[in-house]
Amino acid sequence: MAEFFDEDFADLEGEDDEDLFSPGAGAVEGAAQSADSQGARDADQIAAGLRNVGFRDGLDKGKETRLQDGFDAGYRSGMAKGFDLGVARGGLSTLLEVLARDGGGGGGGEGDAALAADARALLERLDA
């Protein structure tokens, strides 16, 4: 009689002696595969987002570097020209002061007046 029960219920136990009331390995594997595929999608989205952020950061850094290089070059050029203009302006102002003094070394009369007029005109152009 024991053989009867063993034979009749052998097919209910499953191939690997699985418990019929527990979730089968297939259900667990399916859930694991679903979680793995969701994790892979999440990882892909995060990687794409990081690539985009890195790309934008690289562009921003390149723009900053390029702007800074341009500023530095312009500053050097402008500084040199500004210094030269300052020297010229100082020289013209000194010349006008010397010509304005009585007997200030020129002694040329009309020539000094013409020179002073030219110096004033140049100063006005530099100030504009």
Give 1-31 pLDDT, tens digit per residue.
Answer: 555 555 555 555 555 555 555 555 555 555 6
- Which of these, 101, 92, 98, 100, lies nearest to 121 by C-alpha position? 92
Task: Provide the pLDDT for residue 11.
Answer: 54
pLDDT: is 127 or 85 the higher one? 85
Query: What's the pTM?
Result: 0.44
pLDDT: is 13 or 66 the higher one? 66
Contacts of 20 (CB under 8 A, 6+ apart): 12, 13, 14
Q: What string of DSSP letters covers 59-128?
A: HHHHHHHHHHHHHHHHHHHHHHHHHHHHHHHHHHHHHHHHHHSTT-S---THHHHHHHHHHHHHHHHHH-
Task: Provide the pLDDT for residue 24.
Answer: 53
